[in-house]
Amino acid sequence: MTDPSRQPGAFARQYRRHRSLRAWPLAAFAVATAVVLGTTLAWAARARATEPPQFEATEVATQNGSLTLKWTGSGDAFEVSLQSRRPTAEPARVVYRGHAPAAHISGLRNGEYAAVVRARSGDGAFGDWSAPATIAVAHHDMQTVWWLFGAGLLCVVATVGTLIVSARRSHV
Amino acid sequence: MNAPPGLLLAPEVGWALLGAFSVLWIGLGRFWGRRAKSLDGYMVANRNVGLALGTATAMATWVTSNTTMLAPQFALELGVWGALAYSTASLGLFLFAPLAKRIRQLMPHGYTSGEFIERRYGGTAWLVFVTLSMFYALTWLVSMSMAGGLLLEALAGVPYVYGMTAVLAVCTAYTVFGGLVAVIGTDFVQSVIILIGLTVVAILAVIAAPIAEVHAALSAERPMLLDVLFPAALMALFNNLLFGLGEVFHSNVWWSRAFAMRDGIGARAYTLAGVAWLPVPVVGGFLGLAAPALGIGVSRPDMVAPIVAGHLLGQAGAVIVFVIVFASIASSIDSLLAATSDLVTNDIIHRRLRRHASDATLRRMATAVVVGTAVVAWVACLPNIGNLATVLFFAGPMVASMIWPILAGLYWRRTPAWAATAGMLAGSSLGLLVYFEIGWYAASTTGAIVSALVVIGGTLASRERFDFARLSDGDEREAVA
């Protein structure tokens, strides 16, 4: 009877079995690493996607009650909510829904407002609200306004009056 | 073809519309341009423009991208007062009616407003006037070219630079081919398109957003837009009126039309144009006010009209808005290119650099100036700085400071040159100071008032007696020809 280990090809088979046994832990390690890495990356990507946008300016002042808020952050749509803080605190209301990372707001009365923005990700769910931007609205004082209004009125009346009278009197 | 999210038209549709209208304008420009072989034909349309064309060109030129895009912004930011403030610009056309008659009487062979200033007040006043006027022309040109780029970007996602370049290039092409003849001809077609399109938009918009609903929503969410004592809006009321007056009174865009119209046509044409223009900012203003009421998110205030029309009326609305705004932009860019070219060719090249140049040479130079002006505007448009209001209204105090030097120069014999020059300089300087210290909505008023005080004071103190016959003297071009 011949020793099986001495049969042709036996060494090669043994070598392949040994090698596959040694490869198991390596393969398991590689799979585990890939799973952990993949999960981590996916989690990080999701965290990035749902990370609230950030306003470019967190303190905005306006003298005519209108302003444009701009922000950075990813998302396929955005929603901006505005709340009056002073002189009276009022419930927040949505003032912008759109795709562009900017919102124009107008018609605000004197006072202090807080605006927050959130992004909508690809699955349609909104992320968290951003840190607020504070908006201070202080319209021009009426004394300046009446001066300029009166002066403008006077200038227009003088111009129109002069033109009408001069046109009637003119003879070439 | 569905538009991508956030857009109202597919980019292919935007490009197709741009291409179709470009072919139309250039084709019409070439067709009408055949009549502009002589220098007079190129610069003042052979001085033979009748009432229909005269009214249409004045109206279409005054319906700029600013009317269709800035008037809604005025309403969105300054409320009902803002819409009213913008519509006061029609007074510019009404009040220019008697001036057009006077200009044609005093300077039957004139070409430019700069020529009038030089003959009436001399070289120093001319230098100040031309500097201010050219600056204004550039800001107007830049604001409209920007509007073209922004419109294509907002509606169809066409990159701003490509859209702006295409709009400017098309207008330059047909202005080069036909000068003022082509400009006035295309203006007629464009004014018809604008009026029909706006009527459709107005009817559909009021059906989709009833006035009572708009009022209720504004009262609840944007109360200042309905407030009678809205400070910035109150200041903007006369500011815009005076800005409009200054624009029309001084700009060669309007003077060249006064020279181009037949005798006795100018006053009637400008009056009718004012009547036809008045509803345009009212419709635009309603679109601006409807935006918050309809819950439409606005990211750029100067884009509110296209966005609202697109949301209200769907893709058809977006197409209508595109056609209206493109027509209004083209009708103003071409006029401005032609008028600026006239000013540079006549006042600088002919009267200062090449006094004995032939008409053919001047005609070629006028063409080159059109292209050069467009290139300068294109470079200034590239950075896309500021919104349309800030770009345009920066020139407000300068143009407002020219109202009284023009008015007094046309009618008063006693107004001295120094008062006109000082009025323009002081009005512009103090107006710009107010622009930065208070805001654009007070700058033109300041410029006009300061200039008026200087001109009136100088006139009262003067013993000069100007001979108006000197304005029609020395028509060198006729002598050369």
pLDDT digits (tens, 9 = 90+) for B134-187: 998 888 888 888 888 888 887 788 888 998 999 899 889 888 877 777 778 888
pLDDT at B479: 38
Report the residue from B225, B232, B242 with minimal CB separation from A155. Answer: B242
- Chain A neighbors of B224, CB-CB under 8 A: 65, 106-109, 139
Report the residue from A68, A159, A166 with minimal CB separation from B245. Answer: A159
ipTM: 0.82
Cβ of residue B411 closer than 8 Å to a chain A Cβ: yes
Helix (H, G, I), strand (E, B) or coil at B209: coil
The mean pLDDT value for B32-38 works out to 72
Residue A171 confidence (pLDDT) above 80: no
Residue A164 confidence (pLDDT) above 70: yes
Residue A89 Cα, gap to closest chain B Cα (Å): 14
Nearest CA in chain A to B407: A163
Measured over the CA atoms of residue A106, residue A108, residue A111 and residue A114, the dihedral's sign is negative
Residue-wise pLDDT tens digits, B69-102: 788 888 999 999 988 888 888 888 899 999 999 9
Nearest CA in chain A to B223: A107
Cβ of residue B245 closer than 8 Å to a chain A Cβ: yes
Residue A125 Cα, gap to closest chain B Cα (Å): 17
Residue A95 confidence (pLDDT) above 80: yes
- Chain B neighbors of A172, CB-CB under 8 A: 102, 105-106, 468
pLDDT at B456: 96
Higher pLDDT, A62 or B346: A62
Size of the A and B interface in Cβ pairs below 8 Å: 151
Residues in chain B: 481
pLDDT at B69: 78
DSSP structure string for chain A: ---GGGSTTHHHHHHHHHHHHHHHHHHHHHHHHHHHHHHHHHHHHHHHHHSPPEES-SEEEESSS-EEEEEE---SEEEEEEEEEESS----EEEEEESSSEEEE--PPSEEEEEEEEEE-TTS-B----PPEEEEE-PPPHHHHHHHHHHHHHHHHHHHHHHHHHHHH---
Contact B235 A140 (CB under 8 A): yes
The span from the CA of B9 to the CA of B427, in Å, is 45
Residue B388 confidence (pLDDT) above 70: no
Task: Please give the DSSP secondary-structure letter assigned to residue B262.
Answer: P
pLDDT at B349: 87
- Chain B neighbors of A160, CB-CB under 8 A: 91, 95
Higher pLDDT, A17 or B225: B225
**Which positions 281-340 of B are in contact with A (Cβ < 8 Å)?**
292, 295, 297-301, 304
Residue B61 confidence (pLDDT) above 80: no
Adjacent-strand bridge partners of A137:
A62, A111
**Which positions 77-116 of B are in contact with A (Cβ < 8 Å)?**
77-79, 91, 95, 98-99, 101-102, 105-106
Nearest CA in chain A to B453: A155
Of these ranges, A109-113, B109-113, B147-151, B305-309, the one predicted with the greatest mean pLDDT is: A109-113
Residue-wise pLDDT tens digits, B216-272: 989 988 999 999 999 999 988 999 899 999 999 999 888 988 888 888 888 899 899
The span from the CA of B68 to the CA of B396, in Å, is 19
Residue A49 confidence class, pLDDT cut points 50, 70, 90: low
- Chain B neighbors of A101, CB-CB under 8 A: 299
pLDDT at B481: 34
Higher pLDDT, A172 or B179: B179
Mean pLDDT of chain B: 85
